[in-house]
Amino acid sequence: MAQGANRTAVQVVGVVVLAAAVTAFLAVAAVRHGFFDLKVYYGALTWWVHDGGEIYDYLKPNTQYGFTYPPFAALVMLPMAYLPWPAAIVVSVLASVATTTVLIWWLVDPIARRAGWTRWFALAVALCLAAAFEPMRETVNFGQVNTLLLFLVAVDLLRLLPTGNRWAGVGIGLATAIKLTPGIFIVYLLVTGRWRAALTASGAAAGVSLLAGALFPDASREFWTEALWNTGRVGELAFVSNQSLRGVVARLDPLHPSTLLWLLLVLGTLALWAWRSRAAVAAGDEATGLALTGAVMCLVSPVTWVHHLVWLLPALILLVDNATAAPAGRRRRVLLAAATIGYVLLISRTVWFWEKDFTGVDGFLGSNAYVWISLALLAFLPVRRWLTPGGSVVETSGVPQLDEPDRRAPAGERHLVGRLLTVR
């Protein structure tokens, strides 16, 4: 009893010290954006609901930024128009914290169970580290919706799809209707042969979009015919915060970026993603499928601001997961080193050193640092091969497979099965 109490006391002190260190780091490193994006949403909704204007005609004063999301997102955010500004901030922050906490719990708890860590302690440490993660702190400071979208997708891929739930796909559909980029997860379901879930996701996205269209026909018409195609509303492609392949190409020649080069890079990246995603799903490794698709979404989207890289968080956690499951030795050290290097770079604001001048070799490498991380995760994040109860690896046509009992087991239970790691 005394030993357990001492351990708890040490862990509490450790969490307090880590939280204090992260707070000090954020005081120095975090940029205060004043909930800029949330102000855009709030202003557009207020203009729409109370001032009689059209939501897609609104621009934040003295800027080029307006509401860029589909009409269903406006429907979801509509209650914000009836809240005072401070309350809107509180709701935004609480939503980001709550969805992040649940997602991290789903990913970290299996690691804690397998490694014998105290579960609350593992979650607390992970949340502290997530708070320092630049995409996460940018999401909160801008008042963005990234964690909500990631949560909706994770509900499907980590909870509903592995158990064969007939509602699997609804979360992806809702996320796609709120912001179009998560639609790549519908493609992920198609590429990996989950036709029913893909149909459910497509139906959910179409259904709620039609609902928004019926409720707001003028706004829907303007979005789908005009606002969607107005790329000037999202910002400058060559801006260093755009950590996508399109951003890489734009920084090579800001005045005349090559569309052909970008499309070739996108096609090659999608081919790699499709191959690796199919291998992950064949092995029953849905969490890695989520991580790979999040990484490729960041790469192929024309605009991926730094805060969008919240989608890389599952991949970094899975690197730690893979490391703890690997036997002690070189493989474990390499995986932990990769997770550490990726995390350190993604809290460091490295790319901003080249904000004003991204020319030269150092500019090319440094201003695109987060793109290189996304590519490395897409190419090298391990796909896990599950062991049968007897200890043998089940393989079919050279691609690792779950045996039937494990295939039917919920994702949380599969994490308790012994594992052999491999990179496909």
Residues 193-214 pLDDT 10s:
999 999 999 999 999 999 999 9
The neighbour count for residue 264, using CB atoms within 10 Å, is 13
Calculated CA dihedral for residues 103, 109, 111, 113, nearest 10 degrees: -170
Residue with tokens 């089940």: 394
Q: Mean pLDDT throughout 99-111? A: 96
Of 125-129, 178-182, 189-193, 396-400, the range with the lowest mean pLDDT is: 396-400
In the predicted structure, residue 421 carries a pLDDT above the cut 70: no
Of 17-21, 31-35, 97-101, 316-320, the range with the lowest mean pLDDT is: 31-35
294 with 314: CB under 8 angstroms? yes
Q: What are the DSSP calls for 98-167, one per residue?
A: HHHHHHHHHHHHHHHHHHT--HHHHHHHHHHHHHH-HHHHHHHHHT--HHHHHHHHHIIIIIIGGGT-TT
Q: What is the mean pLDDT of the chain?
A: 89
Q: Mean pLDDT throughout 154-176? A: 97
pLDDT band (50, 70, 90) for residue 251: very high
Facing residues of 419 across strands?
Answer: 386
In the predicted structure, residue 136 carries a pLDDT above the cut 50: yes
Kind plus residue range of the DSSP H or E element containing 38: helix 36-49
71 with 209: CB under 8 angstroms? yes
pLDDT band (50, 70, 90) for residue 41: very high
Residues 373-420 pLDDT 10s:
999 999 999 998 754 333 444 332 223 333 333 333 334 434 333 333
Count of positions (residues) in the chain: 424
pLDDT for the residue numbered 20: 97
Q: How far is residue 99 from each of residues 14, 93, 149, 150, measured CA to CA in Å? A: 24, 10, 9, 8
Helix (H, G, I), strand (E, B) or coil at 68: coil
pLDDT for the residue numbered 133: 97
Residue 44, judged by CB atoms within 10 A of its CB (0-12, 13-18, 19+), counts as buried
pLDDT band (50, 70, 90) for residue 31: confident
In the predicted structure, residue 220 carries a pLDDT above the cut 90: yes
Residues 46-97 pLDDT 10s:
999 998 889 999 999 888 889 999 999 999 999 999 999 999 999 999 999 9
**390-409 as b/e: b if 16+ CB within 10 A:** eeeebeeeeebbbbeebeeb
Residues 273-319 pLDDT 10s:
999 999 999 999 999 999 999 999 999 999 999 999 999 999 999 99
pLDDT band (50, 70, 90) for residue 11: very high
Residues 323-365 pLDDT 10s:
999 988 999 999 999 999 999 999 999 999 999 999 999 999 9
